[in-house]
Amino acid sequence: MVKHSQEEGSGPAAATRPGVALLVLCASAFMASLDVFIVNVAFDDIGRDFPGSSLADLSWVLNAYAIVYAALLVPLGSLADRFGNKRAFLTGLAVFTTASAACAASPNLWLLVTFRALQAAGAAALTPASLGLLLAATPTPQRARAVRIWAASGALAAAAGPALGGLLVESSWQWVFLVNVPVGILALTTGTRYVPADSRPTLARTLPDILGTAVLTATIGSLSLTLVKGPDWGWTSKETMLALALTIVGALVFGARIARHPAPVIAPALLRVRSFAWSNAVGLLFSLAFGANLLAIILWMQQTWGYSALRTGLAVAPGPLMVPVFAAIAQRIAHRVSTGAITAAGSVLYGLASALLALRVGTTPHYASEMLPSSLLSGAGVGLALPTILAAATTDLPAAQAATGSAVVTMSRQIGTTLGVAALVAVLASASPADDGRAAFVQGWWIITSAALLSALAALGMTPRRSENASATAAVRTPPSTSVEGS
């Protein structure tokens, strides 16, 4: 059972400016996704400003964001579904913007790491809430299109991170964080006025399973820690084995909690929605390929070709330009071609882009003939696949579970990205000292190709079967154990 509620802060202006609301929600998701990737090219400059910091210490500027973001997505998404998406969105945006300014002003490395973790907490709150608001405010026939636009903005941010980061680092690494501040303030002021509050059934305003929330947070945090530190610790070390054991035990305990608790963090019926379950699997596999390939290209151009951060960013830029173009193509053909087929096509294109690099790229720079074709193909693949994955995962979900559902699929993508980066780092670390480095990169690109093709196969299961989805989403709407508040 559910109760009806109207969040504070909605007004006539919000109802009459849907385009402004969509822009604010997409811009905020763009910033949150951007900060997963934009810091990579600022690494060397940050290290120079904090002398004495080891590479392992500096890696926590990236790790803190990745771990906290992944760990808090689902708990904060569940709270947004219970206490209001607009409230969660504006709070998360305020935290993210404030933490971004604090990152730029950090006087030492560990304060920077601390503020990066706070920044990730804000991003974990605003990301699922923004999609929840979008779904609640969009009529069902237009949902898929709106979600594709939202998802394309996030995909564009991820792909454009190195390019934008390279431009900003030319002035100072602090600008990598300061760029969020004016955008965040504008989004806060505009969002408060023009983003409509939820006018829909919400889950009862009780806290979700507290112990289950803590277990899930610890489990995802432990898994992320295992993936980001495994290459440094060694995959068979005591530290890695302990973190992996904690992850497995946590997953088992969490599974038991959601099956038995009257207010679970994730409704079990949510996981029985066919399109949702398969989209999570595809999102993880595709993001594994995406995260590994983006890092491989950056490392290759900087370490092997000797490109500067700015030149690397500009060299990566053609790929992101393809994302909105092919996202629009996916939207135009969506009524004739299944979501699974569109995603599979995007995954195959991405696999071909990686295979081209494995077959053609050499240690002497030939950008136009060796890197550019792959960049254009990969951008086309991202534009077809990622927005479609998000649309398939969320458009069939009931509005009262939209933030939780979007948080789960975003978490799957984040874990996939982290896994891809960890796998690539492990492959590159195993390179022979006598090798010029190409063999290890080629091995990495073939692994990326394999992951992309696996995601193409899994994508065939994404296409919703209406009868199955209808019964599953009905169970999500009216979970038998949810308490009644009001009538």
pLDDT digits (tens, 9 = 90+) for 98-131: 999 999 999 999 999 999 999 999 999 998 888 8
From the list 29, 17, 7, the residue with the least C-alpha distance to 193 is 17
Pick the last residue of a domain from 229, 248, 264.
264
Count of domains in the chain?
A: 2
Q: Is residue 485 part of a domain?
A: no
Contact 220, 76 (CB under 8 A): no
Give the pairing type, strands 3-6 and 199-202. antiparallel
Which of 241, 264, 287 is the endpoint of a domain? 264
Q: Which two tokens stand for residue 425?
A: 């780092």
Sequence-distant (6+) residues with CB within 8 A of 395 are 135, 140, 143, 144, 147, 275
The answer to whether residue 486 is domain-embedded is no
Closest CA to 32 of 151, 126, 144: 126
Beta strands per DSSP E along 193-240: 199-202
Same domain, residue pair 194 and 64: yes
Given a cut of 70, the residues of the chain with pLDDT beneath it are 1-18, 55-56, 158-159, 198-208, 396, 399-400, 432-436, 464-487
Q: What are phi and psi of 6, to 5 degrees?
A: -125, 120
**Is 324:455 a contact under the CB 8 Å cutoff?**
no
Residues 269 and 368 placed together within one structural domain of the fold:
yes
Residues 186, 236, single domain; the answer is no
Would residue 1 count as lying in a domain?
no
Q: Which of 199, 230, 264 is the last residue of a domain?
A: 264
Q: Is residue 481 part of a domain?
A: no
Task: Answer yes or no: do 260 and 297 share one domain.
Answer: no
Residue 196 lies in a domain: yes
Provide the domain limits for residue 434. 8-208+265-476
Asked whether residue 130 falls in the same domain as residue 241, the answer is no
Structural domain includes residue 149: yes
Residue type, 487: S
Residues 178, 125 share a domain? yes
302, two tokens: 């900087």
Rounded to the nearest 10 degrees, the angle between the axes of helix 274-299 and helix 372-394 is 160
Do residues 225 and 298 both lie within one domain? no
Residue 483 confidence (pLDDT): 38
Residue 28 has a pLDDT of 86
CA distance 385 to 323: 10
